Amino acid sequence: MFDISCGGNYLVVVYIFVKLLYLINIAAQLFLLDVFLGTPYHAYGVEVCGLLRQYVVVENDDAKLEPYYAVCQK
């Protein structure tokens, strides 16, 4: 499959293979979480990001009381 006679190539192939195993592990854990709990946790992160986008950041005058403004004012 790969010519891994050189030490550097072997390490790169092993590194990439381990990273692929990590990705497979993540997918398998999400799948098993869905199966055992019966809830769609595979979309949980996307839903949280969507909910966070709905909130609007409002400028606040109290923000001027943060330590930077309190210490660094001239």
pLDDT tens sequence across 23-63: 999 989 888 888 887 877 767 777 877 787 777 555 555 55
Residue 15: predicted pLDDT: 93
Domain membership of residue 20 (yes or no) is: yes
Higher pLDDT, 68 or 13: 13
Domain hosting 27: range is 7-72
Q: Say how many domains are in the chain.
A: 1
Domain membership of residue 47 (yes or no) is: yes
Residue 74: predicted pLDDT: 54
Residue 1: predicted pLDDT: 55
Residue type at position 59: E
Domain membership of residue 2 (yes or no) is: no
Residue 63: predicted pLDDT: 55
**What's the pTM?**
0.48
